[in-house]
Amino acid sequence: MQAMMTVTVLLLTVLWIGLTMGQIPNPNQYRFTLTIGGRAQERYAIDEPAGKMSRLWYSNDADEEFGGNQDIYVRDDARTYFFDFMSKPPGCIANRGGPYNRMNYWSNLIQSFGGEQKIYDELIFDPDCDGTCLTWKTEFNETYHHFRYVNRLYVKKAEQKPIKMVMRKYDLDTEKLLSTTVTRFVNWITGKVPDYEYDYPMNLTTCYKP
């Protein structure tokens, strides 16, 4: 009887560990810089318990004067501030409420891969993970252009840390690889987000308040 209990507990533990290991990390406090093809595109700093979120995106033109835009959501203010550095002069709008859905990038991405409980599809040995990556895959066919897209998410197994996403585009008929796009989650850090991530880049008194 005792032995059976032990075996059951052991089995449950193994199952539980298996499930835990298979989950996509889903922290409610995180920050990272998103790069596509080696170029910084966006920065996210999400702190759900603190009720603060920041999404910053860089402009694609080379003009330094038009650097980019930033959204900062502050729950205590019940506002989502939009700072626009691509207009001249730079301006800001203090919109009521928020945040809008796109600000929580990671949580949306997990949904697109089947949710945080989704068990990984494959273990892949990859130098970007300093060893083993857990990977999740989605694919879809774009029949109009005859493309097939395969998107794979890589999470470093040892630290449960998001590393990159690799999107491959194939010719649907010949299966020839047409292009590969690598999105990286650089400087991924979890835990309480320092306040400087939410420093307003402009004096709020100048903001338009709808």
Ligand X SMILES: *[C@@H]1O[C@H](CO)[C@@H](O)[C@H](O)[C@H]1NC(C)=O
Residues that bind ligand X (CB under 6 A): 139-141, 148, 172, 203, 205
Question: Strand (E) positions, 65-191?
Answer: 68-74, 79-84, 91-96, 122-126, 131-142, 147-156, 161-171, 177-190
Q: How far is the CB of 145 from ligand X (least distance, A)?
A: 13
Closest approach, Cβ 148 to ligand X, in A, equals 5
Which residue, 27 or 201, has its beta carbon nearer to ligand X? 201
Q: Which is nearer to ligand X, 150 or 189 (CB)?
A: 150
Q: Of the two residues 177 and 186, which places its CB atom closer to ligand X in the complex?
A: 177
Residues in contact with 24: Cβ distance below 8 Å, sequence separation at least 6, in sequence order: 110, 113, 115, 116, 118, 120, 136, 153, 155
Amino acid found at 10? L
Q: Which is nearer to ligand X, 148 or 157 (CB)?
A: 148
Rounded CA-CA distance 85/87 in Å is 6
Taking the complex as a whole, the smallest distance from the CB of residue 52 to ligand X amounts, in Å, to: 18
Q: How far is the CB of 173 from ligand X (least distance, A)?
A: 8
